[in-house]
């Protein structure tokens, strides 16, 4: 009798379920029980969460939406890495998508002014969205961050996002281990140091914006001779909308 051919040794691995860890973007909630897969989003829960992994497939994105209730995907890749494919998949699934044009995470690139400006612009826009959640102006955000392998670029961006939301330098780095251990082990301390430099510059802009005196409400201004055209227009973030960046 002929023996059956053994199954491919990687077959089981390819069928393993895609999993991520949700971590709260609120230092006061650290250590609290985290939402588990398939948990619904509690309308009373105004805390936002962050997660990360490698570049997702359509199936992965579907799992992120249905089981982890992810509602924003942040792609940290360069133009040659087909970020628009992720954008199209997100649009199909009704997920909001944000693209940060970040082609790598080597020291010269992360030290460039243009790279830091791109990171700052994208994350300041994200900060406004997160701040709106914490001010009870909307539901919580569940963010999924990825690059290619989900280690170097992803680690840098996850670190800065945590710093934006109030975690200390030490906490933001150590928390990476809870968000994704591969990222924590592979990001390297020198990248975290460069990320801290980016955050320090960003913080000055955030502090300046938050201490600016509010401008006169639009409805109190005298209408121009052209009428009140567009006076109450607002930028609305719509899941799956055809856009690349916040801000």
- Please return the burial class of 58, using the count of CB atoms within 10 Å of its CB with bins 0-12, 13-18 and 19+: middle
> How confident is residue 4, by pLDDT bands cut at 50, 70 and 90?
very low
pTM: 0.77
192 has pLDDT over 60: yes
**Neighbour-count burial for 164-186, b at 16+ CB within 10 Å, e otherwise:** bbebeeeebbebbeebbebbbeb
Helices (H), 4-96: 11-14, 58-68, 83-93
14 has pLDDT over 50: no
CA–CA dist 20, 145 (Å, integer): 11
Alpha-carbon distances of 103 from 84, 99, 153, 154, 181, rounded to whole Å: 14, 11, 9, 12, 23
In order of their start, the domains of the chain are 19-29+45-210 (3.90.190.10)
């Amino acid at each position: 009798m002929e023996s059956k051919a053994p199954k491919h040794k990687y077959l089981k691995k390819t069928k393993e379920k895609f999993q991520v860890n949700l971590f709260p973007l609120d230092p006061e909630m650290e250590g609290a029980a985290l939402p588990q897969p398939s948990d619904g989003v509690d309308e009373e829960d105004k805390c936002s969460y962050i997660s990360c992994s490698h570049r997702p497939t359509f199936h992965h994105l579907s799992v992120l939406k249905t089981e982890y209730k992810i509602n924003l995907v942040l792609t940290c890749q360069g133009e040659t890495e087909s970020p628009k494919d992720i954008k199209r998949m997100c649009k199909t699934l009704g997920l909001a998508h944000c693209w940060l044009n970040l082609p790598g995470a080597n020291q010269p690139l992360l030290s460039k002014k243009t790279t830091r400006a791109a990171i700052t612009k994208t994350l300041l826009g994200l900060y406004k969205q997160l701040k709106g959640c914490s001010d009870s102006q909307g539901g919580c955000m569940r963010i999924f961050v990825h690059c290619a392998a989900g280690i170097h670029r992803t680690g840098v961006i996850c670190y800065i996002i945590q710093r934006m939301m109030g975690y200390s330098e030490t906490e933001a780095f150590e928390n990476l281990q809870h968000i994704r251990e591969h990222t924590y082990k592979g990001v390297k301390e020198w990248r975290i140091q460069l990320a801290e430099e980016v955050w320090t510059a960003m913080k000055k802009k955030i502090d300046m914006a938050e201490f600016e005196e509010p401008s006169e409400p639009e409805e109190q201004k005298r209408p121009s001779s052209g009428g009140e055209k567009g006076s109450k227009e607002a930028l609305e973030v719509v899941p799956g909308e055809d856009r690349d960046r916040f801000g």
